A and B are shown apart, each in its own frame.
Chain A
């Protein structure tokens, strides 16, 4: 289980200004479940992924894997951690080395982590390629010989090679065609069920999140404003931002036309965030405390939390 608590990450913009990408984020990714992280671009989704992977160090707060602090690990423990948590990126064209054969790409982790070599490794690679639904002869080909969906399958096979317990997938389908998106989502879900890996799905597409995730966290300007079981968040959203996001998604039923008037404005820059609740300039329900006081997280029961003055 991978857990972030109160994580803060700031980047220096110039001499006196900081960009607060993450401002006290709590997040849990459990084994065998799909958790989702949604929000608009610039809200800090990908920064959180980098921290969860131990690619960057938080300025405040803690990150822990199975109870062990990521930044108090010995070198050996870090190597073991790297094997446990694997990443799938958005762009399957940019994340595969074009000069490496598929068998080398998928098998690299086996060699690095000294899991298998030689014939054993080759057999394991073939097994993995079959698992993700690629033809048997794929190992001898190069990435350019595959379509986008097939390349994403290669990325998934590569991530699974080291038998991780968690997969972090950052917008894994947004570069793919609609008819292929469903294939990849289904594959990720099959793998989760069969191998018991946990999945953190980072996405801006609420429809995708609704369809596959068990839990969802909604981020806005570096804070998780609402989290809870997907069904309850989607059927009864609490935070005005979640309501706005859901209203913005076009319905696939022409008879159901939703009023998108509530949607207004752009997200403010994370460099100079508004005082008080970061969402108040776009919020239709803002009242006195919202302009000056940052709302605390409120537990709503059933594992749901919200960060909004309406629910004090």
Chain B
């Protein structure tokens, strides 16, 4: 990465994000302290298991948090502008304009009673009918849908999961966004279709220099498609590093454990690489320990870890880690 690139302000900057749910049992924090940046034209992966706060973070950025959840602390800046200070009109322009969003379930993200053309027209916005049609066809072609003219009249149930996801990507591209947030975009898809969709996102990143925030639990996808990785656990960012750094030398014990737990068929030996289980379970958000949330599953943990949640600190080389033992 060039020095120029390092100095320029990040496209998206999330600092100390905290999201709180009000539930019948009281307030529960879904996100405790998540901070990271996304550079323009690059792919940042946000990795974590369920309950890590990764999806809530993505939803916070586009202002789609569920009704009983609110951002209770932290800030989100896009191109240097705080999203919290934007008015409703500006936010509308940002959502679906500057920032496109793709979800996990392509089949249920499209309205079953409307055609592909209707979805695209809605995304493209106020244009003349002929312009909308031309633009729709152009978008469908760009995302690799064969015979786009005919597909405009198709309903979601007539499309496969992979085609639905391509339509959604076309919708996200309609207003030439500079950021696409993809929340587990391929989890519901078969592995061959997953490869196609990821290749498409890679191509868009290069051709349109659109930045990608890839929310996923699959470290394989991260290794192959991301430039930078942010690892989340129990609502905290626990590690941030470039893909090369992270896979060469993971620092946080959770990242290390996650990598060892993954089955990997490309490892040598008997093909028995990986699959070392992490003992215990992810703590419930309402019952987080006072200290490091990973301490009771961690091999390095001792008494010091139970005192307070470690600060996110930099061990050098532009990396960040939230652990008092690592590095």
Selected interface stretch from A80-88, A98-106, A253-261, A288-296:
A253-261
Closest to A181 in B: B261
Number of interface residues of B (CB under 8 A): 46
Pair A207/B195 contact, Cβ less than 8 Å: no
Contacts of B190 in A (CB 8 A): 40-41, 204, 267
Provided the pairs A208-B263, A257-B224 are in contact, do residues A231 and B192 lie with their beta carbons within 8 angstroms? no
B275 adjacent to chain A (CB < 8 Å): yes
Report Cα–Cα, A177/B50, bound state, in Å.
7
Report Cα–Cα, A179/B254, bound state, in Å.
10
CB proximity to A under 8 Å, residues B105-129: none
Pair B192/A251 contact, Cβ less than 8 Å: no
Provided the pairs A249-B265, A251-B220 are in contact, do residues A40 and B276 lie with their beta carbons within 8 angstroms? no
B40 to chain A, nearest CB (A): 21
Pair A244/B271 contact, Cβ less than 8 Å: no
Residue-wise, chain B 178-221 has the 8 Å CB interface mask toward A (1 for contact) of 00000000000011111110110000000000000000011111
A219 to chain B, nearest CB (A): 12
Pair A248/B199 contact, Cβ less than 8 Å: no
Pair B257/A206 contact, Cβ less than 8 Å: no
Provided the pairs A249-B265, A253-B266 are in contact, do residues A179 and B247 lie with their beta carbons within 8 angstroms? no
B142 adjacent to chain A (CB < 8 Å): no
Pair B277/A186 contact, Cβ less than 8 Å: yes
Report Cα–Cα, A40/B261, bound state, in Å.
24
Report Cα–Cα, A183/B263, bound state, in Å.
11
Residue-wise, chain B 244-277 has the 8 Å CB interface mask toward A (1 for contact) of 1001000000000111011111100011111111
A92 to chain B, nearest CB (A): 14
A21 adjacent to chain B (CB < 8 Å): no
Residue-wise, chain A 238-279 has the 8 Å CB interface mask toward B (1 for contact) of 000000111111111111111011011011000000000000
Provided the pairs A231-B271, A252-B259 are in contact, do residues A247 and B266 lie with their beta carbons within 8 angstroms? no
Mark B residues whose CB is within 8 Å of A. Answer: 49-50, 160, 162-163, 190-196, 198-199, 217-221, 223-225, 243-244, 247, 257-259, 261-266, 270-279, 281-282
Mark A residues whose CB is within 8 Å of B. Answer: 40-41, 147, 149-150, 177-183, 185-186, 204-212, 230-231, 234, 244-258, 260-261, 263-264, 266-267
